[in-house]
Amino acid sequence: MNNLPKEFIVNKSNLLESRFIPLQVPAASDLQPGQVVLQVERFAFTSNNVTYAAFGTAMQYWNFFPTEEGWGNIPVWGFGDVLASKADGVQVGERFYGYFPMATHLTVTATRVSDNGFTDGAEHRQAMHGLYNHYVRTSTDPGYTKESEDVQALLRPLFITSFMIDDFLDDNQFFGAKTVLISSASSKTAYGLAFMLSLRKNKTCKIIGLTSPGNLEFVKNMGIYDEVVAYDDVTSLPAEQAVVYVDMAGNGQLRSQLHHHFKDNMKYSCAVGGTHWEELSGASALPGARPVLFFAPAQIKKRMADWGPNGVQSKLAQAWQQFMQPVLSAEKPWMQIIHGQGEDDVRRVYNSMLSGAARPDQGNVLSL
């Protein structure tokens, strides 16, 4: 049974309930024109994927890889190899990076095939943002190296968001603020943003990381935040400075506390990632700028128009290569890769993430 095609699914109404079920994979001779079978070779699993599950219905994450009624397959970022293909321009043995199910295989319908990759044209995926439906050909990806695959699966989707927040803030002259507050400072999207902000030659803003007491030392040792403050001490920050707040934590109480502390000096406030609009209810009653949801694809769309697709890709690839240096530093790497294989490891990592036991200095890469 362990060598047979399978997928890992969770109960949509009770995420603590999960199981493995057999997966039907079409034979090469049964493929329709344009269809491709990918073997999912490895994928990352982070707290961000738990967010996908928590907001699976509201944000349509369950729609990517439909499964049994009442159950969902959590989308993950990873790498897959072409096992069979009836699509022109997609060859058996090629490797692609993209959005996969927690499964051994994925069957897609390759459309808009180019040197860069292809888009899955499956009907049930068309309502979702195209960013999630594109599969990148590793042989032509300027940001790809074989050695950094694990880190790419773990950090690249999050780093795109980090890059775009940094770009958005700069595009808006930081809304007149001189300080950027980032909550959940130990999270991968947060420290990607802090890294990008720290690269700015004129060091436009002071970067302050907000974190839990248990993660203080880890965040301080990264060396990219100008100041690191525990959540309990946020009101010790000078209230007369103009600030922008980037909320990676989704903590409504903390958001309210910061808005009431800085009042009109809160020049911009956004929630990032899976935090849904309902979590911002009552936000209009807070002093300072009204909190909004930051949606990275909107800034990507703007920059696609400004820079062109190749411009966006080259700028991202350049920033990604810079980011890799401290992440993979031989002396003091920011992240230790933990590999897992098979049903037991997948279930163990999933349950650990669900319980909030994830360590900021570790990244899990799995395969079935």
Residue 101, phi-psi category: left (phi > 0), alpha (psi -120 to 50), beta (remainder)? beta
| Confidence check: pLDDT of 282 > 60 | no
Residues 6 or more apart whose Cβ sits within 8 Å of residue 113: 87, 88, 89, 90
Tokens describing residue 283: 């936000």
**How far, in Å, are 42, 104, 300 from residue 146 at the CA level?**
13, 21, 26
Report the 3 state secondary structure along the chain.
Answer: CCCCCEEEEEECCEEEEEEEEECCCCCHHHCCCCEEEEEEEEEEECHHHHHHHHCCCCCCHHHCCCCCCCEECCCEEEEEEEEEECCCCCCCCCEEEEEECCECEEEEEEECCCCCEEEECCHHHCCCCHHHHEEEEHHHCCCCCHHHHHHHHHHHHHHHHHHHHHHHHHHCHHHHCCEEEECCCCCHHHHHHHHHHHHCCCCCCEEEEEECHHHHHHHHHHCCCCEEEEHHHHHHCCCCCCEEEEECCCCHHHHHHHHHHHHHHEEEEEEECCCCHHHHCCHHHCCCCCCEEECHHHHHHHHHHHHHHHHHHHHHHHHHHHHHHHHCCCCCCCCEEEEEECHHHHHHHHHHHHCCCCCCCEEEEEEC
| pTM of the predicted protein model | 0.82
Contact, 245 vs 258, CB < 8 A? yes
Name residue, tokens 């802090």.
Answer: 194
Give Dmax over CA atoms of the chain in angstroms.
69
Contact, 7 vs 71, CB < 8 A? no
| Confidence check: pLDDT of 144 > 60 | yes
What is the third-level CATH fold of 157-298? Rossmann fold (3.40.50)
What pLDDT, in 10s, does the model give residues 61-108?
Answer: 899 999 999 999 999 999 999 999 999 999 999 999 999 999 999 999
d(CA 327, CA 336): 9
What pLDDT, in 10s, does the model give residues 306-328?
Answer: 888 778 888 888 898 889 888 87
- pLDDT of 289: 92
**Which of 183, 180, 218, 212 minimizes the C-alpha distance to 196?**
180
Residue ranges covered by each domain of the chain: 6-141+335-367, 157-298
Percent of the chain whose pLDDT exceeds 90: 61
Residues 6 or more apart whose Cβ sits within 8 Å of residue 357: none
What is the third-level CATH fold of 6-141+335-367? Quinone Oxidoreductase; Chain A, domain 1 (3.90.180)
| Confidence check: pLDDT of 116 > 80 | yes
- Comparing 7-16, 32-41, 153-162, the range with the smallest average pLDDT is 153-162
Percent of the chain whose pLDDT exceeds 70: 95
Buried b (16+ CB within 10 A) or exposed e, 240-250: eebbbbbbbbb
